[in-house]
């Protein structure tokens, strides 16, 4: 950058001393700004008669349509601010660019950056030096700031000199000062910057070549870039020479592309970039042999940082992979635990089912035992009755033969014993298993028991609503229905202190329901904390209902008293019968 700045300052000084006008000076300034900020549209703009509008005094670079567009110097515009602060470089993006160029608020404008600085000439009018460049091609901010500050300073001096020949000496001194400042700025950069001629030889270079230990600045002139970075290299196929040659050919074909070279011998990684210069007017003929700028950076630290980040990423990936494996193992263990728990739950459910089966078998055995007892009572007591009958016959013989004694007391005692024995047998057999349950069915048995219950408890009014027929009660539910009615009515007699009880047995399309409702003290009168199924009878009812596929519920009745219900959901076999289903 230093040699280019020096050339720019020298050319501006020469033009000013030669008596160039403002347009020529502006053209020279825009040309050099275009070289220093490649790819930009460089402009010198000045306000018109209307303070809010402006026009282009000179321009350089792509974008002719922008030059013909309207320019705004209204309050808040970058151009207006640059005139008010000539020593400051101002940057604008997005809406601020569109505000300064209201005639071109298209995608090119909104994706570009507008940089401007005021030219504060003591004589010769006020103007602004500006660069419009795509944000993706924008160089480092400090390079643009320095370029604009030095060029606007020198343009201000050159304009003053051109306007007043008497200021030539002071202007030349200012140019020299600006040249030294520019060269100092270029020398302060961390990159090697070289100006190349058309033969790819160094015309100018900054002092970074000395800090890198390559050679003194004066000795670098006339060398090729390969000779500068590999002095004394005798390798016939040097990789750096090949890379530089490829980059130079790409530049000659207007396809410049930055590249990197790993200089292992000097422990450097070089970032190399060729940038083209295209002088387009007569005012830059003095640099017509200069063709390109070579910028070389040492990106070794960047590479080391990148490698450190890669190593960190690899370590992180390894930790993530390890942790993922641990989580996978933990997940596998959890799945195994879930399987074990499901197996235990299945075993528990099977055990519960076995317990239900055992309970069902126990109740069935209980029923069988009652049946057997009834049969045995009938058989054994029947023999006793036969004996009584024989005694009665003997008494009759005594009547026939008076000499045998008075048979009347014996006869009457035997008759009473026979009658009592017969009544007891009938009562026991009926309570154990009513014959009507086997002879007719569950519905008839429930109706019969309700009649017997009403006779035993005459103070308790019994209403019976047996709407289901014997055929509508499946055989597998006959005992459960009868025992349910028996247990519920016995509970009413023992605990309810009721005056009326209502018994209902009816069929729904797919259900059989037994209901007992009384007007007694009610379920709420039980001791606090006592569950409604605390008694053995109610617990047996619940178990009997569950074993036969039913549901038992009991609770307070809405009208007072207690309401109990046994309900069974019927299958198709229960409705049609197994034989009809098979057929």
Query: Residue 132 is part of a domain; what is its CATH number?
Result: 3.30.450.40
Cα torsion for 224, 229, 230, 232, to the nearest 10°?
60
Token pair, residue 469, equals 């027929």
Does residue 331 sit within a domain?
no
* Bigger pLDDT: 529 vs 11: 11
For the chain, give the percent of residues with pLDDT over 90.
12
Quick check: 195 and 3 in contact, CB under 8 A?
yes
Q: Determine, yes or no, domain membership for 420.
A: no
pLDDT at 260: 85
Instruction: Tell me how crowded residue 309 is: count the other CB atoms within 10 A of its CB.
Output: 10
Determine the distance from the C-alpha atom of residue 543 to the mean position of all C-alpha atoms in its chain, rounded to a whole number: 49
Strands 71-72, 202-205: parallel, antiparallel or unpaired by DSSP? unpaired
45 within a domain of the structure (yes/no): yes
Answer whether residue 527 shows pLDDT above 50: no
Query: How many angstroms separate the CA atoms of 116 and 568, rounded?
Result: 94
Q: Are residues 510 and 555 in the same domain?
A: yes
DSSP character for 92? E
Cβ-contact 15, 23 below 8 angstroms: no
324 in a structural domain: no
* 311 domain-assigned: no
pLDDT the model gives residue 331? 92
Lowest mean pLDDT among 24-38, 114-128, 469-483: 114-128
Residue 472 is encoded by which pair of tokens?
């509508």
Does residue 28 share a domain with residue 47? Answer: yes
Residue 284, pLDDT > 50, answer: no
Instruction: Quote the domain boundaries for residue 359.
Output: 339-410
Residue 334 falls within a domain, yes or no? Answer: no
Beta bridge partners of 556: 562
Read off the pLDDT band of 581 (50, 70, 90): very low
- For tokens 């006008």, the residue is 21
| 556-568 pLDDT per residue, tens | 988 888 999 999 9
Answer with the one of 242, 265, 298 that is the final residue of a domain.
298
177 and 215 in a common domain: no
Residue 165: both structure tokens together: 């020949």
Quote the strand ranges of 135-229, DSSP E: 192-197, 202-205
Does residue 87 or residue 375 have the better pLDDT? 87
Statement to judge: residues 440 and 547 lie in one domain: yes
Report helix, strand or coil for 125: coil
C-alpha to C-alpha distance for 417 and 405, rounded to whole angstroms: 21
Kindly state whether residues 178 and 66 are assigned to the same domain: yes
Q: Quick check: helix, strand or coil at residue 406? A: coil
Strands 500-508 and 461-466: what pairing? parallel
For residue 105, give the DSSP letter: -
Whether residues 555 and 453 fall in one domain: yes
The answer to whether residues 314 and 288 touch, using CB atoms and an 8 Å cutoff, is: no
Count of residues in the chain: 583
CATH number of the domain residue 461 falls in: 3.30.565.10
Cα(543)–Cα(533) distance, integer angstroms: 11
Pair 277, 386 in one domain: no
Measured CA distances, 490 to 390, 432, 433, 460, 486 (Å):
40, 14, 16, 12, 6
How sure is the predictor about 285, in pLDDT bands with cuts at 50, 70 and 90?
very low
313 assigned to some structural domain: no
Q: How far apart (Å, rounded) are the C-alpha atoms in residues 543 and 537?
A: 10
Domain count, the chain: 4
For Cα atoms 474, 476, 479, give the angle at the middle one, nearest 5 degrees: 100
**Which pLDDT score, from 0 to 100, does residue 503 have?**
95
User: Is the same domain home to 572 and 475?
Assistant: yes
Paired sense of beta strands 290-298 and 268-276, if any? antiparallel
CATH assignment of the domain containing 280: 3.30.450.20
Is the model's pLDDT at 532 over the cut of 50? no
Q: What is the dihedral of CA 107, 109, 110, 111, to 10 degrees?
A: 80
CA distance 307 to 323: 24
| pLDDT above 50: residue 400 | yes
Report for 3-12, 330-339, 515-524: range of highest mean pLDDT: 330-339
Q: Which residues pair with 41 in a beta bridge?
A: 132
Of 135, 161, 186, the last residue of a domain is: 186
pLDDT digits (tens, 9 = 90+) for 21-57: 888 888 888 888 888 888 888 888 888 777 678 888 8
Q: CA-CA distance, 447 to 387, in Å (whole number)?
A: 37
Handedness of CA 414, 415, 420, 421 (dihedral sign): positive
Residues 6+ apart with CB under 8 A from 42: 29, 30, 31, 33, 34, 59, 60, 61, 129, 130, 131
Domain boundary (246, 272, 298) is at 298
23 and 172 in a single domain? The answer is yes
Angstrom distance (rounded) from CA 470 to CA 396: 47
Residues 130 and 34 in one domain: yes
- The answer to whether 171 and 157 are in contact (CB under 8 A) is yes
Residue 426 counted as domain residue: no
For residue 234, CA distances in Å to 117, 231, 268 come to 49, 9, 20
Cut 0.85: pTM above it: no
Could you tell me the pLDDT band of residue 362, with boundaries at 50, 70 and 90? Answer: low
> Span 391-399, mean pLDDT?
79
Model pLDDT for residues 179-207, shown as the tens digit of each residue: 778 778 878 888 888 888 888 898 888 88
Helix (H), strand (E) counts: the chain: 20, 16
What would the mean pLDDT of 54-65 be, rounded to a whole number?
Answer: 77
- Are residues 176 and 201 located together in one domain of the fold? no
Question: How much is the mean pLDDT over the chain?
Answer: 80
Three-state secondary structure call for residue 193 = strand
Tokens of 385: 């009755």
pLDDT band, residue 334 (cuts 50/70/90): very high
pLDDT of the residue at 18: 76
User: What local confidence, expressed as pLDDT, does residue 63 receive?
Assistant: 64
- Check: CB of residue 228 under 8 Å from CB of residue 194: yes
68 pLDDT above the threshold of 90:
no
Within this chain, do residues 458 and 494 fall inside the same structural domain, yes or no? yes
User: Locate tokens 């370029």: which residue?
Assistant: 147
């Amino acid at each position: 950058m230093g040699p280019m700045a020096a050339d720019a300052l020298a050319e501006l000084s020469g033009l000013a001393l030669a008596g160039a006008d403002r347009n020529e000076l502006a053209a020279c300034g825009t040309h050099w700004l275009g070289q220093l900020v490649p790819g930009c549209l460089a402009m010198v703009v000045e306000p018109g008669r209307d303070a809010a509008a402006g026009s282009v005094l000179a321009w350089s670079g792509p974008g002719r349509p922008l030059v013909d567009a309207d320019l705004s110097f209204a309050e808040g515009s970058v151009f207006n601010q640059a005139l008010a602060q000539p020593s400051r470089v101002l940057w604008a993006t997005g809406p601020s660019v569109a505000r300064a160029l209201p005639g071109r608020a298209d995608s090119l404008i909104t994706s570009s950056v507008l940089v401007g600085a005021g030219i504060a000439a003591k004589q010769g009018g006020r103007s602004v030096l500006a660069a419009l460049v795509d944000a993706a091609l924008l160089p480092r901010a400090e390079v643009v700031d320095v370029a604009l500050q030095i060029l606007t300073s020198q343009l201000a001096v050159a304009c003053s000199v051109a306007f007043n020949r008497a200021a030539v000496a002071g202007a030349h001194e200012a140019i020299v000062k600006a040249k030294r400042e520019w060269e100092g700025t270029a020398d302060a950069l961390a990159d090697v910057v070289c100006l190349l001629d058309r033969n790819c030889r160094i015309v100018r270079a900054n002092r970074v070549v000395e800090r890198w230990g390559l050679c003194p600045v004066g000795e670098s002139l006339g060398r090729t870039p390969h000779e500068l970075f590999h002095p004394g290299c005798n390798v016939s196929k040097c990789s750096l020479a090949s890379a530089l040659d490829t980059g130079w050919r790409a530049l000659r074909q207007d396809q410049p592309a930055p590249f990197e070279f790993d200089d292992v011998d000097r422990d450097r990684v070089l970032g190399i970039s060729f940038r083209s210069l295209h002088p387009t007017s007569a005012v830059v003929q003095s640099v017509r042999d200069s063709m390109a700028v070579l910028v070389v950076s040492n990106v070794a630290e960047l590479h080391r940082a990148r490698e450190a980040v890669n190593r960190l990423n690899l370590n992180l990936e390894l930790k993530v992979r390890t942790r993922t494996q641990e989580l996978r193992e933990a997940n596998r263990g959890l799945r195994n635990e879930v399987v074990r728990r499901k197996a235990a739950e299945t075993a528990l459910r099977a055990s519960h089912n076995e317990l239900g089966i055992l309970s069902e078998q126990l109740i069935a055995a209980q029923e069988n035992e009652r049946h057997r007892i009834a049969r045995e009572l009938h058989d054994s007591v029947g023999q006793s009755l036969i004996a009584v009958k024989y005694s009665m016959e003997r008494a009759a013989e005594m009547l026939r033969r008076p000499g045998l004694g008075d048979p009347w007391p014996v006869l009457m005692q035997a008759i009473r014993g026979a009658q009592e024995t017969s009544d007891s047998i009938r009562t026991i057999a009926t309570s154990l298993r009513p014959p009507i349950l086997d002879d007719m069915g569950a519905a008839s048995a429930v109706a019969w028991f309700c009649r017997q219950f009403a006779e035993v408890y005459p103070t308790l009014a019994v209403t019976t609503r047996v709407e289901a027929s014997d055929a509508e009660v499946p055989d597998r539910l006959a005992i459960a229905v009868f025992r349910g009615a028996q247990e519920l009515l016995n509970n009413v007699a023992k605990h309810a202190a009721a005056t009326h009880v209502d018994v209902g047995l009816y069929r729904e399309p797919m259900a059989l329901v037994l209901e007992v409702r009384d007007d007694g003290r009610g379920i709420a009168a039980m001791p606090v904390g006592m569950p409604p199924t605390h008694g053995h009878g109610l617990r047996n009812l619940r178990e009997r209902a569950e074993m036969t596929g039913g549901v038992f519920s009991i609770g307070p009745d809405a009208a007072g008293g207690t309401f109990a219900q046994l309900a069974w959901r019927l299958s198709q076999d229960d409705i049609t019968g197994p034989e009809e289903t098979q057929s």
